[in-house]
Chain A
Amino acid sequence: KAGVTQTPRYLIKTRGQQVTLSCSPISGHRSVSWYQQTPGQGLQFLFEYFSETQRNKGNFPGRFSGRQFSNSRSEMNVSTLELGDSALYLCASSLNGHPNTEAFFGQGTRLTVV
């Protein structure tokens, strides 16, 4: 059974640009969450999608957005990139996002903003 797949693995962008990251969840999983990991802030929740609807959103500015497609694949977009957006972006999938189910993470996309 394939795990969570994130593409690309590494990305370098210039300040002011925008970026789109992709996540394919485990087959059969319908909930996809996104997290940002930085040395200073640790792992921070961005948002969660289930059946193409955003159910939860973390404390990030509107420059961070996402969507989910009918096949449960999800994309995350960051516009007007800032240096502080440099981070490891992690996607996690779970069967239905029920509180008592485990979330499985992808390997992440390492974004560097220069």
Chain B
Amino acid sequence: DQQVKQNSPSLSVQEGRISILNCDYTNSMFDYFLWYKKYPAEGPTFLISISSIKDKNEDGRFTVFLNKSAKHLSLHIVPSQPGDSAVYFCAAKSQGAQKLVFGQGTRLTINP
């Protein structure tokens, strides 16, 4: 049972444009969401998070949007840079739980 889903295995975006990565979840108990970026042979790097009491959180070029009614979140990267090419994971936690539930990841490629 995949509680966190990233339906796009890959995404290709031109440098300078906006990258939008999507994530859907099924468990209504999730109340904290995180995005991680991962390069091959390295551990995931924390990017940005959002609590369920908010619908938007911004940090530099990264913005995460949360739509609780649709159980959907998205990560916007503007402008996209070649160094953003990596696999992006969406993760969720539920109240009182310490474990992260991850999506399958989306491979983002930024083309020059």
| Interface residues of A, dominant DSSP | strand
Picked from A6, A55, A99, A102, the residue with its CB within 8 Å of the CB of B94 is A99
Chain A: residues with Cβ within 8 Å of the partner, total of 29
Q: Which residue of B lies closest to A45 (CB)?
A: B99
CB pair A56 B99 closer than 8 Å: yes
In angstroms, how far is the closest chain A Cβ from the Cβ of B83?
Answer: 18
B46 near A102 with CB under 8 A, answer yes
**B interface residues, how many (CB within 8 angstroms):** 27
Interface residues of A (CB under 8 A from B): 4, 6, 31, 33, 35, 42-45, 48, 50, 55-56, 58, 90-92, 94, 97, 99-100, 102-108, 110
8 pairs of A and B residues whose beta carbons are closest in the complex? A105-B43, A43-B102, A45-B99, A97-B98, A48-B98, A42-B104, A105-B44, A102-B46
Hey, which bits of chain B sit against chain A, CB under 8 A?
31-32, 34, 36, 41-46, 49, 51, 89, 91, 93-105
